[in-house]
Structure 1
Amino acid sequence: MELSALFLQTLETTLPVFAMVFIGLGLKRAGWIDRAFVSTASMLVFKATLPTLIFLSIIRADLAATLNPALLGFFALATLGSFLFSWGWAILRVPREARGVYVQGAFRGNCGIVGLALAAGMYGDYGLSAGGLLLGVVILTYNVFSVIALASYREGQHTDWRSILGHIATNPLILAVVAAVPVAAMGLPLPGWLMTSGDYFASLTLPLALICIGATLSLGEIRNSGRLAISASLMKMVTLPALATGAAWLVGFEGRELGVLFLFFASPTAAAAFVMTKAMGGNAALTATIIALTTLLASLTITIGAFGLSAAGLI
């Protein structure tokens, strides 16, 4: 395939995702949707439609082909490595009071929405099922590491680790993965009408979530962002994806496995980072700016990265 055709094929995968993000931005600026809509829709996605999408994608998957312990294990180790690398950099270059927010913004990707959408667009059912399984690792590692980073630099406040573990254990996305794996492993059939209704409901997930991400973008905050936001954004969108994807290739991952890993590594900072920062008394404004900036950068960095890996015959 010629490079121009390959580049167009890459754009066909990435542009629909980011087009929905910018549609959300346009709808918010036009006044057609507001904060109340974004809050309600985001909660609906998190608690209902995304867990449904994950559940259905896993039970339809061929676990013999999709369930890859090496892939899951590597992603967990790479996430730990990204967390430690960004924390080490923060110790050297970031003021103490901003380190926790910086670390979370630099390593915590929006895999549940952007990563999953891109994986589905590039690899279809395999992307959905493999991405759904990876989300179980994502949710556990991202939440635990984020709490550690933020709690380490939260002065004068007590961290309720029991409550935090309770929230992790009752996370709807984790529960969806836990419920789906035994159903898929045992091949339990579900009624056709239930599967069809589930498909209708799950189909709301990606467009609704991407529109909400766009509606939360603040171009004014991005223009006013300082050195820390730019540094964390470049760490998240350039440095860590390059290092993690390179490590994955070196240990033997290739093809669609490497592609899914890259898309998850290269996802912009998760919107959930803002909620976590605010709840733990961190600099929520800095977190919001990092989320906005990485989301805008993603349309460029992910497209270029996917094109480069495809052109090199790696994915």
Structure 2
Amino acid sequence: MDVLIRLIALLVVLLVGTGLRKSGILNAGRTAKLNALAYYVALPALIFVSTYDQAITELLSPALIGGLLLVLFLTAGVAWLVHRGRSSPGRSSVAIVQSYHSNLGYLGLPLVAATFDARVTAIASVILGVVTLTQLPLTILVLSTFNGADAALADELRGLATNPVLVSLVIGLAVGSSGIAVPPTAAAGLDGLGALALPLALLCVGASLQPEGTSVDFGAVGSVVAIKICCMPVLAWLVFSTLAVDPATLTATVVMFGTPTAVSTYVFAAELGGDREFASLNVFATTVVSIATLFVLITLVG
């Protein structure tokens, strides 16, 4: 029941964000500021407090890295088989990308932190770092290849070096591995900032949900939803059960991969020749439907 209440509250905050956008309170400028606060302050604080007291050897393992990459590329392969014949390259590329590119930062990690213990949250932080390093270049490569767009892949890769999510993860793991003591007052302050990550992120995602267009290809949207929020977490469950990892790792991977399509995929689609209306619909559909599927996943693995 607690999980259901949390997810209902998540949906309410999402809808509040959408309502604030429609009313004009969360206009483009204010949404950008809220995004910056979540992305550069709250989320890095959450990642640091989740990892600063644990050694890297306790969190990062060959099984975790190998399993994450296997799930990601298996899902991308399934998506390619299903979507490669869509009506246009712009639609095919978007469908493929949005079938595997997860909203790990704005929904995954904050939701895990609000629902599970510190061990699961720490592993989820590592998952966020490893998968971000992989899915971002893969998405740019798929979109630019299908659409013949000129993507500055090298610039995006260089940008990862200053990504606040990855920087905070590296610092947290370094502090935890070196045994450096963090003053309790500093830890408490960062913990308070980290607690803001989920509500801020939900408001931002809600303000970004703007389904465009009047004609909906229900078959295409439905297949993206099915692969992203059903097939991907099931693959994660199968892969990590086979790897015989500890329960915390299994829980973190299944829930993180069960998150909806990242809002950033809409931005990449618009910049790299993808079908932007289709991309917007997929973000909206996977986010709304994932409220129900995440309840099932959290109940099963929790």
Please give the TM-score of this superposition, normalised by the length of structure 2.
0.89
Q: Within 5 A, what are the aligned runs for 1:261-276?
A: 261-276=253-268
List per-residue Cα deviations over 1:50-96 (Å, max 9, x = no partner): 12221221103365543444223211221121112212222245633
Match of 1:79, SS state, is helix
Task: Confirm or deny: 8 A CA contact 1:133 1:177 kept in the other structure.
Answer: yes
Q: Distance in 2 between matches of 1:180 and 1:128?
A: 13
Residue 85 of structure 1 corresponds to which residue in structure 2?
78
Task: Confirm or deny: 8 A CA contact 1:245 1:265 kept in the other structure.
Answer: no
Q: Which runs of 5+ in 1 are unaligned?
A: 1-7
Q: Does residue 1:149 correspond to 2:145, yes or no?
A: no
Q: Does residue 1:134 correspond to 2:127, yes or no?
A: yes
Q: Within 5 A, what are the aligned runs for 1:100-139?
A: 100-139=93-132
Match of 2:99, SS state, is helix
Residue 88 of structure 2 corresponds to which residue in structure 1?
95
Task: Confirm or deny: 8 A CA contact 1:83 1:145 kept in the other structure.
Answer: no
Q: Within 5 A, what are the aligned runs for 1:203-222?
A: 203-218=195-210, 221=212
Task: Confirm or deny: 8 A CA contact 1:18 1:299 kept in the other structure.
Answer: yes
Task: Confirm or deny: 8 A CA contact 1:17 1:114 kept in the other structure.
Answer: no
1:212 maps to a residue whose letter is: C
Q: Does residue 1:250 correspond to 2:242, yes or no?
A: yes
Task: Confirm or deny: 8 A CA contact 2:63 2:243 kept in the other structure.
Answer: no
Match of 2:147, SS state, is coil
Q: Distance in 2 between matches of 1:54 and 1:243?
A: 25
Match of 2:176, SS state, is helix
Match of 2:289, SS state, is helix
Please give the TM-score of this superposition, normalised by the length of structure 1.
0.86
| Pair 261,165 (structure 1): closer, same or farther in 2 beyond 3 Å | same
Q: Distance in 2 between matches of 1:33 and 1:97?
A: 30
List per-residue Cα deviations over 1:219-250 (Å, max 9, x = no partner): x5487432323321222112222233223223
Q: How many residues align?
A: 301
| Pair 304,197 (structure 1): closer, same or farther in 2 beyond 3 Å | closer
CA drift of 1:296 comes to 0.3
| Pair 295,222 (structure 1): closer, same or farther in 2 beyond 3 Å | farther
List per-residue Cα deviations over 1:155-186 (Å, max 9, x = no partner): 2x433332122122222211111222111101
Task: Confirm or deny: 8 A CA contact 1:61 1:125 kept in the other structure.
Answer: no
List per-residue Cα deviations over 1:251-294 (Å, max 9, x = no partner): 32463322211111110001111222223232222212111110
% identity of equivalent residues? 24
Task: Confirm or deny: 8 A CA contact 2:120 2:251 kept in the other structure.
Answer: no
Q: Within 5 A, what are the aligned runs for 1:1-315?
A: 8-61=1-54, 63=56, 65-93=58-86, 95-155=88-148, 157-218=149-210, 221=212, 224-227=215-218, 228-253=220-245, 255-307=247-299, 309-310=300-301, 315=302
Task: Confirm or deny: 8 A CA contact 2:213 2:277 kept in the other structure.
Answer: no
Task: Confirm or deny: 8 A CA contact 2:232 2:257 kept in the other structure.
Answer: yes
2:275 maps to a residue whose letter is: N
Q: Distance in 2 between matches of 1:42 and 1:210?
A: 10
| Pair 75,222 (structure 1): closer, same or farther in 2 beyond 3 Å | farther
2:279 maps to a residue whose letter is: T
Q: Distance in 2 between matches of 1:118 and 1:202?
A: 12
CA drift of 1:142 comes to 1.2
Q: Distance in 2 between matches of 1:94 and 1:279?
A: 20
Residue 5 of structure 1 corresponds to which residue in structure 2?
none
Q: Distance in 1 between matches of 2:222 and 2:141?
A: 23
Q: Distance in 1 between matches of 2:180 and 2:126?
A: 18
